[in-house]
Amino acid sequence: MSLEMEKMDKEHLLHKYLNGTATPEEIITLEADPTYSSYIKIANTAESFETPMFREEDNFNAIASKLVDPSKVRPIRSLKVIYRVAAAVVILFVGYLFISDSETTISTQIAEKKEFMLPDASQVHLNSQSQISFDGNKWNQKRSLKLEGEAFFKVHKGKLFSVKTSQGFVQVLGTRFNVFSRDSLFSIKCYEGLVSVSYSDTTVQVPAGTMIEIRNQNRIEKSKIATASPNWIANESTFQNVSLSLVLEELKRQYPINLISQNIVDKNFTGSFTHKDLNVALRSICDPLQLEFTIQGEDVRLYAKKNN
């Protein structure tokens, strides 16, 4: 079900609730939604208002009976109905403010990945400790989102699709690409189509089968890629001449560990590690760099091998 259809269904249930015709199951559905549960609280508060002691209803009917032909007088609605209408007006106003500035945020924790669809059915894979935010209500007018961390996109062809990060912009029309933006490293891999990357005052075109890495906003490296999609989707992180410190940061995103390094020189690493077995992952990193490691619960210690 699309976001728009889901919103219409919730609004229909809210209307039934205000009219007193919602079933217990429908009320539970509304209360489970943070947005609509707040509306219910407003309506319930309105119902709790006490009728004034001087009985406006009786006074109004008494005056009306003297001024108008009783046969033409319509009975006044109860104050509870009036309060419900007032609550509905408040709900609509609050809802308008909420919807007009709504933003959807999807994030992942350590050792967690997510796969989901955007409003236009474009597909997103979100890597560990990453976040994406976008305005679903304006998506048809502007396909734009913010990314913190790493994500792989399969974008449906259509209007310009933009990814904004703290280090630069990525723009496409319809393609498959991966964006990594953490600390001083900004990396873009294009698997299909053409990607436009803007950073500082520079714009670079990245064709299919190519990747670029931008370090500290002023250093760019280009290279070829041979895979059809990023390896991290298959639970493996791959690196090409990357500093050990960045590799270990990625390791901590994929495993809930406390990493302690002892007298280790920050060498460059080329290789990969699995996301499924910590011992195997550590061995894949440590063996090529002549390092040792110990694991005690969540504590992992790395240290240089002693010379024999």
Q: What is the pLDDT of residues 228-279, one digit of tens each?
A: 999 999 999 999 888 999 999 999 999 999 999 888 888 999 999 999 999 9
Rounded to two decimals, the pTM is 0.66
Tell me whether residue 300 is in a domain: yes
Q: What is the pLDDT along the chain (308 residues), one digit of tens a residue?
A: 545 445 556 566 666 666 677 777 777 776 676 665 555 655 555 454 444 444 545 555 554 555 445 455 455 455 555 556 555 554 554 454 444 457 999 999 999 999 999 999 999 999 999 999 999 999 999 999 999 999 999 999 999 999 999 999 999 988 999 999 998 889 999 999 999 999 988 999 999 999 999 988 887 888 999 899 999 999 999 998 889 999 999 999 999 999 998 888 889 999 999 999 999 999 999 999 999 999 999 999 999 987 64
| CA-to-CA separations, 27 to 12, 84, 90, 261, 272, in angstroms, rounded | 12, 16, 19, 54, 50
Query: Of 35, 65, 100, which marks where a domain is finished?
Result: 100
Query: Of 48, 72, 100, which marks where a domain is finished?
Result: 100
Tokens standing for residue 66: 């003297």
Q: Using an 8 Å Cβ cutoff, are 169 and 162 in contact?
A: yes
pLDDT for res 37: 59
The reply to whether 86 and 178 lie within a common domain is no
Query: Of 48, 75, 100, which marks where a domain is finished?
Result: 100
Other CB atoms closer than 10 Å to residue 304's CB: what's the count?
A: 15
pLDDT for res 102: 75
Tokens standing for residue 155: 């974008």
Tell me whether residue 230 is in a domain: no
The reply to whether 217 and 251 lie within a common domain is no
Range of the domain at 260: 235-304
Tell me whether residue 298 is in a domain: yes
- pLDDT tens per residue, range 77-106: 555 555 565 555 545 544 544 444 579 999
The reply to whether 114 and 156 lie within a common domain is yes
The reply to whether 109 and 220 lie within a common domain is yes
pLDDT for res 75: 52
Q: Using an 8 Å Cβ cutoff, are 258 and 277 in contact?
A: no
Other CB atoms closer than 10 Å to residue 10's CB: what's the count?
A: 17
DSSP letter at 70 equals G
Tell me whether residue 200 is in a domain: yes
Q: Is 188 left (phi over 0), alpha (psi -120 to 50) or beta?
A: beta
**Count of domains observed in the chain:** 3
Tokens standing for residue 227: 């895979």
pLDDT for res 226: 86
Tell me whether residue 141 is in a domain: yes
The reply to whether 89 and 164 lie within a common domain is no
CA distance 251 to 232: 12
**Partners of 205 in beta bridges:** 196
Tell me whether residue 229 is in a domain: no
Tokens standing for residue 285: 């990193």
Q: Using an 8 Å Cβ cutoff, are 189 and 224 in contact?
A: no
